[in-house]
């Protein structure tokens, strides 16, 4: 069962804001630290190497996710902004199982 704000997605290349990913966290409209909290919840149930795409409107999210990946060992694949929405794509670190 998907958590609120977490949606399973098939690979899709039809939208500029959609990247190939295993989970999408729609954190638009949420203030810090909620985008990061929701992303961590998504990562907890995914296998190592899984890709999470986060959509956020909180301007602090870019720095938050950069620090989170640097300190947590996750791989930050992309951060970009379009029309006031940050798209943050990260891969779960190797060796970290589910749960």
Residue positions annotated with a catalytic role: 32
- Burial class of residue 10, CB neighbours in 10 A (0-12, 13-18, 19+): exposed
Would strands 51-56 and 85-91 be described as parallel, antiparallel, or unpaired? antiparallel
What would the two tokens of residue 88 be? 């943050």
Query: In which residue are the tokens 């060992």 written?
Result: 73
């Amino acid at each position: 069962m998907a958590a609120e704000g977490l949606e399973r997605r098939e690979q899709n290349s039809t939208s500029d804001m959609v990247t190939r990913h295993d989970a999408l966290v729609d954190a638009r409209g949420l203030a810090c630290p909620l985008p990061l909290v929701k992303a961590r919840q998504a990562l907890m149930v995914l296998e190592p190497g899984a890709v999470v795409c986060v959509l956020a409107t909180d301007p602090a999210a870019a720095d938050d996710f950069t620090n989170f990946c640097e300190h947590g060992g996750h791989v930050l694949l992309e951060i970009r902004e379009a029309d006031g929405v940050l798209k943050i794509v990260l891969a779960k670190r190797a060796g970290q199982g589910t749960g």
